[in-house]
Amino acid sequence: MSFVAIVRQPINPSDILQHVGSEEDGANILFVGVVRNHNDGFPVKGVRYEAYEKMAKSVLEEIVMEARSQFGTDRIATTYRIGNLVIGDVSVAVAVSSHHREQSFLASRFIMEEIKKRLPVWKKEFYVDGREDWTEGLTPPSVLVTEPK
């Protein structure tokens, strides 16, 4: 059973991990994305993520459904935070459990790459020098994503 959420409150990674796992699984993994203190050589003090929440949740659900189908596990939990965040805040968490680790790693990587490509979320960075700037979306470099054997 999958869990997907777009939230405004802080994300507790342990809570996300609680949505996955079963006695038949040998792998439980958790990816946590956090706000870093720099971008393109400039010090950052925080960010704001904005989204049309209903659309963002729908796209996130589609991504998770694709991962379920491609990697053979329905034990996936993904939460994305919008609003104002500061350095160190969790912006996204993806938990996956499966029979074997390869499925979990590949599914998690797939979800994160697709979030970067498709999730309708806009990011504004707040720099230490007082500047503010909406960042341009970047398509992540191609990665080899294969189905588990």
Here the tokens at position 44 are 């950052």
Reference 97, options 58, 65, 68, 63; nearest CA is 68
Reference 58, options 104, 116, 5, 114; nearest CA is 5
Within a domain: residue 136? no
Where in the sequence is the domain holding 80, given as residue range(s)? 3-128
- For helices 53-71 and 101-118, give the axis angle rounded to 10 degrees: 150
Within a domain: residue 18? yes
Within a domain: residue 46? yes
Within a domain: residue 135? no
Q: Provide the residue-wise pLDDT of the chain in tens; the chain has 149 residues.
A: 899 999 999 999 999 999 999 999 999 999 999 999 999 899 999 999 999 999 999 999 999 999 999 999 999 999 999 999 999 999 999 999 999 999 999 999 999 999 999 999 999 999 999 999 998 765 555 555 555 54
The secondary structure element, H or E, covering residue 84 is strand 83-86
Within a domain: residue 62? yes
Q: Residue 68 belongs to a domain with what CATH number?
A: 3.90.1170.40
Within a domain: residue 94? yes
Q: How many domains does the chain have?
A: 1
Within a domain: residue 147? no
CB atoms within 10 A of CB 101: 15
Here the tokens at position 144 are 């080899």
Within a domain: residue 146? no
Residues 6+ apart with CB under 8 A from 114: 63, 66, 67
Q: Yes or no: say if 134 and 123 are a contact pair by the CB < 8 Å rule.
A: yes
Q: Which DSSP string corresponds to 118-131?
A: H--EEEEEEETTS-
In this prediction the pTM is 0.90
pLDDT at 149: 45
